[in-house]
Amino acid sequence: MKLMEGKRGVIFGVSNTHGIAYGIAKQLFEAGAEIAFTYAGEVMEKRVRPIAEGMNAKVIMSCDVTKEDEVKAVFAELEKIYGKIDFVVHAVAFANREDLTGEFINTSKAGWDLAMGVSAYSLVSLARNAKPIMNEGGSILALTYLGGEKVVANYNIMGVAKAALESSARYLAENLGKHGVRVNCISAGAVKTLAASGIDGFGKMLKAAVLKAPLKRNVTLEDVGKTGLYLLSDLSSGVTGEVIHVDCGCHCVYASQDEMELIGK
């Protein structure tokens, strides 16, 4: 019997086959899970539908996570098709391009509200609407990044939004724990994805990560996907309120020997 056989859930945020959400979906599907997919608008549907159909999805729906009625509609459909579900993956984030360059101090109020609403509050909305149909032992997973803990050049408002996301996950873990539902985050290292390409200087971030990381490489989608599978399966039955770093150890190093030698030159 496969690890996720008989488990059903939904992923918000798959956009292409090069993203972290896809890496998690692939691991879940191969482990026997039934996965529902959402997309944001017609343009994204063209990318998401072939992926979802390739994984035999019974539910493929449009959902703007900032609109409560659309979130409710997704979970109503999941209840209609599945009755109960076992997992929810939150892989949704957005900020204006101009707020991911220059200095954080210049973030506009509108830019702040947009990034916070899409990237952080949406987790609260998804959890609230998932709660009535989550099986005991269920798991909610959100994707974050080290920029929520430390300053990362040009991450700006997204770093603050990720900090809010991580804190929200802890409060949700406390709220949902009594119902047997766990809430965790994966803090993935820098991965060459479509979303990451919007960050100014991202190529340099990838090179810097290799210098700093104890494993001396960048993390892969498979690395992150495997950890996602662990957190969404019964293997992590006693884990909640956690931010698990999957970044080849980057987060634990202040200055590596390689960096020191480079500076010395």
Task: Give me the pLDDT at residue 262, please.
Answer: 75
Q: Is residue 262 domain-resident?
A: no
> Where does residue 117 rank: exposed (0-12), middle (13-18), buried (19+ CB within 10 A)?
middle
Task: Quote the number of domains for the chain.
Answer: 1
**DSSP letters of 175-224?**
HHHTTT-EEEEEEE-----TTGGGSTTHHHHHHHHHHH-TTSS---HHHH
* Residues 187, 247 contacting (CB under 8 angstroms): yes
pTM listed for this prediction: 0.94
Q: Is residue 66 domain-resident?
A: yes
Q: What residues make up the domain containing 134?
A: 8-199+219-248
pLDDT lower than 50: segments of the chain: none
Question: Among 155, 171, 230, 254, which one carries the catalytic annotation?
Answer: 155
* DSSP-based three-state secondary structure for 144: strand
Task: Give me the pLDDT at residue 26, please.
Answer: 98
Largest CA distance in the chain: 63
Q: Is residue 127 domain-resident?
A: yes
pLDDT in tens, 107-120: 999 999 999 999 99
Question: Among 145, 171, 230, 254, which one carries the catalytic annotation?
Answer: 145
Q: Is residue 264 domain-resident?
A: no
Can you give the CATH number for the domain in which 28 is found?
3.40.50.720
Task: Give me the pLDDT at residue 255, please.
Answer: 74
Q: Is residue 263 domain-resident?
A: no
Q: Is residue 3 domain-resident?
A: no
Q: Which residues, including other chains, have CB under 8 Å from residue 220's CB and lie 6 or more apart?
A: 23, 191
Taking residue 105's Cβ as centre, other Cβ atoms within 10 Å add up to: 6
Q: Is residue 265 domain-resident?
A: no
155 is catalytic: yes
Q: Is residue 186 domain-resident?
A: yes
Selection from 198, 211, 87, 215 nearest residue 145 by Cα: 198
d(CA 39, CA 14): 7
